[in-house]
Amino acid sequence: MNQDVGPHDNGSHDNGSFTGVRGLRLRHRTWLPRGMPLGVVVIAHGFAEHGGRYAYLAERLTAEGYAVRALDHRGHGLSDGKRTRVVRFSDYVEDLGLFIESGRERFPGLPSFLLGHSMGGLVALAYAVSQPASIDALVVSAPAACAGDVSRYRVTAGKVLSRVAPDAPVLRLPLQKISRDPVVVAAYNRDPLVFRGPIRARLGAEMLATMEAVDAALPRLRLPLLVMQGTRDGLVDPLCGPHVYELSGSPDKTLKMYDGLWHEIFNEPERDSVIRDLVAWLNARLTREPEAPPSRISR
């Protein structure tokens, strides 16, 4: 596994790569604060996008003293692999585990926070329930962790297609609804690293199976958990965030619902306020306390 350069005296950004499961080459980005980091935030991005789209969030977090690392999932961004195609959803999860492990080696002793958005939220949840000792806290933004209003017929049809025609298109997302900020939407539309095709049958079926597995495991989750969700999300059912919050067995869990915000809460006009909430939550958990604070919901 390639190791990128160590901490810098001045804030900086560097890129690297590593070998994921099944021998696929995966790319990643690292943003470093001035001096030694307070902790490390690992970002798992959503379907069709890439880690580079989190540059603004990363820059805000590095200004607060955090190192930020974001990988491009297999078949996404600069990473190798057929665009958005996956044999098993667990490939994403295992890749993420290798990436987190490399961060632990690079930043030994520092708190490690995992942040997953949308499909990346499902990847992060699947990792957290299977490897809770590898991270110190979990944040999910608009997690694609429930089927929402998908009909039973569509679910069954998707499972059948996954076996006989895994690359068959099953769902095209309304990507114009990622943000109310037209500048964000325009940048997304002209980004050559963004995939604009549909979700394929295999990925859809694998996501549904992973949702079921995560649901079964969430009551056993004890990691500090922050769930962040816009109430006007047009890509992920806004009830998915509360669903994760309610199922989680964490004694330290927080649900932040943002009235009127769309899917990408870190790219909405209110992004700075949302990021302040994130930073405050991270800062409060830089050192684990013997007794966790009570669960809470806020808007």
- Which residues are known to be catalytic? 118, 233, 263
Q: How far is Cα of residue 67 from the mean position of the Cα atoms in its chain?
A: 16
> Are 124 and 132 contacting, i.e. CB atoms less than 8 angstroms apart?
no
> For residue 59, what are the contacts with CB-CB under 8 A and spacing of at least 6?
31
What is the chain's Cα-based Rg?
18
For 88, the 3-state DSSP assignment is coil
Residue (of 140, 148, 125) closest to 204 by Cα position = 148
Residue (of 31, 32, 70) closest to 51 by Cα position = 70
Residue (of 36, 28, 40) closest to 11 by Cα position = 36
CA atoms of 74 and 82, how far apart (whole Å):
8
End-to-end CA distance of the chain: 42
> For residue 272, what are the contacts with CB-CB under 8 A and spacing of at least 6?
60
> Measuring CA to CA, how many Å separate 218 from each of 42, 82, 89, 169, 215?
20, 31, 18, 30, 5
Helical pair 201-217 and 89-106, crossing angle rounded to 10 deg = 60
Structure tokens at 188: 């997304």
Residue 65: what residue type? G
Q: Considering Cα of 146, then 152, then 153, then 155, what sign does the dihedral take? A: positive
Residue reference for tokens 């690297």: 16
